[in-house]
Chain A
Amino acid sequence: MADWVEACTVDDVEEEDVIRFDHGGRTFAIYRSPDDEFFATDGFCTHEKAHLADGLVMGDIIECPKHNGRFNYKTGQAKGAPVCVNLVTYPVKVEAGKVLIRTTSQQSQGDKIDEPEKTHDR
């Protein structure tokens, strides 16, 4: 499909880590989970404009480097103050050692923290 974009190779992201990916004037964050799966979200924290790629991945959680706001990067769910708005997540697939993301989101922007978690369609 036209909107699948190569973000990086699998070796570019260490396990339990995140990298930044800029494309089409937008910034994404590409994650590699401890169980070796790949995920993608918007690159900026929904609280203030900080690059999540500078943050810390702990299990399913990405912690923002600016105010330590936490999200589940698999679902985008904000985990509590100071983040109140969920992250937008994007579908990811791995083909021939390359990590591809579909840059159209799979959830609406601005979901609030008290809304149910979105399913992740990978």
Chain B
Amino acid sequence: MADTMKRDYSLVGESTRRAIETGLASAEWYHTDVSRKAMKELMQRSDGPAIRDTVIWIVAILGSAAGGIYFWGTWWCVPFFFVYGVLYGSSSDSRWHECGHGTAFRTRWMNDVVYQIASFMLMRNPVTWRWSHARHHTDTIIVGRDAEIAVMRPPDLLRAALAFTGILDFRYSLPALVRQAFGTLTPDEKSYVPEMEQHKAVIAARWHVAIYIATIALALYMWSFLPLVLIGLPRLYGTWHMVMTGLLQHIGLADNVVDHRLNTRTVYMNPISRFIYWNMNYHVEHHMFPMVPYHALPRLHELIKHDLPVPNPSIWHAYREVWPVLLKQLRYEDYFLKRELPPTARPYRGEFHEVNMSAAAE
């Protein structure tokens, strides 16, 4: 029989206790066999690709901002802010992510600088989010443990749709920064940020809030929305691409399993989305081997794809696959999409999955 117990997504609740008791927390996960020699080559760091991509990124941000400012007050500013918004509100997510892992650049300070800038653009506390992401990799889509489950079950489709506008994130992120700036961390945040790091989260939040106050003051001084359209609001109007690509990472797939092939999705994407997303469309590969830099993920994919479910051929295909699963989860939250493995793959591990598998779509 399927386990129909309601999921408790708090990180200090009943699901947390069960995950720890059953060994799902901090478990050993499945990895495709890759020789040490091949993995060493794939893990090698290089500043070159990330410097090139970051220069393109910064030039595109500054260029689109300049166009938007120049044409401010006319409709011609719209296409410039369309580009600017996506670069600010969406591509910053992948920069935050890769630099947070420390894999984008070989040189540590370069990772740190881009990480801090991208965290600000995303309204994310660079300290708390670093730790929440570490937890996400330890306990990927383990209910009660993973702090970054984007769509919980049963799915709230209105909330998922609103995510494309950035409104909900904005409404959560900005008050969270203000709260943290006043020195308050929630019990969930305290559960994954070590005590010795918590004061750093408060300091980072104060810097972010100070910049937003300065931006608002400038807008009032100029009596213009332009400063806010450049700083802060892109988190609303430019976030759609981040949500479009990011939701596909795990949505509709299994939870409470210890095999990334079951709970994570790789999707082939167009080159523009891959630049914005920094190859995180190879998401099974990233979760299995987070040491591999974004620019080496296509090579890793070629090396291990015999052991992974066949990727979705497009973003559109992936959403068409997900939609009926979400509708069914509205009535039966244990339902999920079980992705088929190719004949060349090693089978899924059963020891943790037997209960959940009975709820899978075949």
Residues on A facing B (Cβ under 8 Å): 17, 47-49, 54-56, 58, 63, 65-68, 70, 79, 81-82, 84, 112-114
Give residues 103-139 of B contacting A (CB, 8 Å): 103, 106, 108, 127, 130-131, 134, 137-138
Tell whether, in the assembled complex, residue A58 and residue B131 are in contact, meaning their CB atoms are under 8 Å apart.
Answer: no
The 8 A CB mask of B8-20 against A (1 = contact, 0 = none) is 0000000000000
Inter-chain contacts of B149 with A (CB < 8 A): none
Expressed in whole angstroms, the minimum distance between the Cβ of B261 and any Cβ of chain A is 18
A112 close to B196 (CB less than 8 A):
yes
What 7 pairs across the A-B complex have the smallest Cβ distances? A82-B134, A56-B43, A67-B134, A68-B102, A68-B101, A65-B291, A81-B130
Q: Which residues of B contact A55 (CB under 8 A)?
A: 291
List the A residue with the shortest CB-CB distance to B44: A56
Q: Is B290 an interface residue (CB 8 A)?
A: yes
B106 lies within 8 A of A58 (CB): yes
Cross-chain pair count, CB within 8 angstroms: 48
CA distance A47 to B26 in the complex (A): 11
1/0 per residue B273-310: CB within 8 Å of A?
00000000000000001110000000000000000000
Question: Closest approach, in angstroms, between the C-beta of A21 and any C-beta of chain B?
Answer: 15
Secondary structure call for the B interface: helix
Interface of A is mostly: loop
Counting CB contacts under 8 A, is B40 at the interface?
yes
Tell me the complex Cα distance, A68–B115, Å: 14
Footprint of A on B, CB under 8 Å?
Answer: 26, 39-40, 43-45, 101-103, 106, 108, 127, 130-131, 134, 137-138, 194, 196-197, 289-291
Which residues on the B side are within 8 Å of A67 (C-beta)? 134, 137-138, 290
Quote the shortest CB–CB distance from B29 to chain A (angstroms). Answer: 9
Chain A residue numbers with a CB within 8 Å of B130 are 81-82
- Our pick among A17, A70, A113 for the contact of B102 (Cβ within 8 Å) is A70
Closest Cβ of chain A to B293, distance in Å, is 10
Q: When the two chains form their complex, are residues A82 and B43 in contact, meaning their CB atoms are under 8 A apart?
A: no
Q: Which residues of A contact B101 (CB under 8 A)?
A: 68
**In the docked arrangement, what's the CA distance between A27 and B290, Å?**
23
A-B contact pairs, 20 of them (CB 8 A): A17-B40, A48-B26, A48-B138, A55-B291, A56-B40, A56-B43, A56-B45, A65-B289, A65-B290, A66-B290, A67-B134, A67-B137, A67-B138, A79-B108, A81-B130, A81-B131, A82-B134, A84-B194, A84-B196, A84-B197
